[in-house]
Amino acid sequence: MNKYYLNYLDELESEAIFILREAWAQFENPVILFSGGKDSILVTHLARKAFYPSKMPFALVHVDTGHNFPETIQFRDNLIESLGVHLIVGSVQKSIDRGRAVEEKGKHSTRNALQIVTLLDLIEENKIDCAIGGARRDEEKVRAKERFFSHRDDFGQWNPKNQRPELWNIFNGRHFEGEHFRVFPISNWTEMDVWNYIKRENIEIPSLYFSHQRKVIWRNNSWIPFSEHINLDASEEVVTKQIRFRTLGDITITGGIESEADTVTKIVDEISTIRFTERGNRADDKRSLTAMEDRKRQGYF
């Protein structure tokens, strides 16, 4: 009898689908946190496969900061239309207008951290008990601390010491009323795994990931996209560069890299030679050595 072997992408896919089905089985109102980036697109694709031929059972949740790339919003809307699933949008601008969040001032102001208030309000208002995210352990050192099922207290905050006991791959989603879980089906994937899988499955992604001409400024050792939300000082000059983005966040914090990679195959080749981290051009992670951990403890993605 011939043995059946899975290649490494099949194993990662199988693990992620198992976790997604566990989340659906253990929680009453699980949703997928959707940023429009490649990782949340990948999780959505896996969720479709996990429940095929039925329709994906999860609603998508997007926190709209008002400082998004226009291409991201267009991609989100097109995907929702093709999937026919429910979209829940939280607005950072409404949180500011209601006095729930305070806009930052100055040259380096962003709305990135303000998403925490909007997200936690949205989770409470919609009685969400499981928020599925596309975070991966290789992205950032604090994300390596997260488990597949990661507990959040009734204030939406994360304490790694408050994790529920688990044996092997028997996930434990038990929680009290008001608490919720974050679930990360692609924790074991690397950036290269994601791109190889996107290539294999021919998954559509936003054009921002491909190299193209874009107006940018050089700030904090990164090429930051020029937009109406950027406050320039006298020393900064807007130039046009051949740019692509490795991660997608707010337009004010997402640094691009100079690149000629305009296809997925070229991106895979490029990543195999790059020796700096995927989030190395994210201004939000440069604020301090513990910037990501500080935000996550408060309830960030």
* Tens-digit pLDDT profile for residues 14-25: 999 999 999 999
Confidence at residue 283, expressed as pLDDT on a 0 to 100 scale:
60
Q: How far is CA 198 from the centre of its chain?
A: 16
Q: Which of 17, 80, 24 is nearest to 43 (CA)?
A: 17
Q: Is the pLDDT of residue 288 over 70?
A: no
Q: What angle do CA 96, 112, 194 make, to 5 degrees?
A: 140
**Angle between helix 191-201 and helix 8-26 axes, rounded to 10 deg:** 90
Q: What is the pLDDT of residue 208?
A: 96
In angstroms, rounded to a whole number, what is the distance separating the alpha carbons of residues 12 and 163? Answer: 24
Indicate the pairing of strand 87-91 with strand 59-64: parallel
Neighbour tally for 53: CB within 10 Å? 5
pLDDT tens for each residue of 30-63: 999 999 999 999 999 999 999 999 999 999 999 9
What's residue 295's pLDDT? 66
pLDDT of residue 220: 81
CB burial of 61-87 (b: ≥16 within 10 Å; e: otherwise) equals: bbbbbebbbeebeebbeebbeebebee
Distance CA 184, CA 50 (A): 15
Q: How far is CA 39 from CA 32, 207, 221, in A?
A: 11, 15, 25
For residue 139, the model assigns a pLDDT of: 82
Task: Identify whether the C-beta of residue 247 lies closer than 8 Å to the C-beta of residue 69.
Answer: no
Residue 189 binned pLDDT confidence (cut-offs 50, 70, 90): very high
Q: Mean of the pLDDT values across residues 154-180?
A: 86
Structural domains for the chain:
8-194+290-298 (3.40.50.620), 205-286 (no CATH)
53 upstream amide cis, omega within 30 of 0: yes
Is the pTM value of this prediction over 0.75?
yes
Q: How far apart are CA 277 and CA 255, in angstroms?
A: 12
The Cβ of residue 101 has, within 10 Å, a number of other Cβ atoms equal to 20
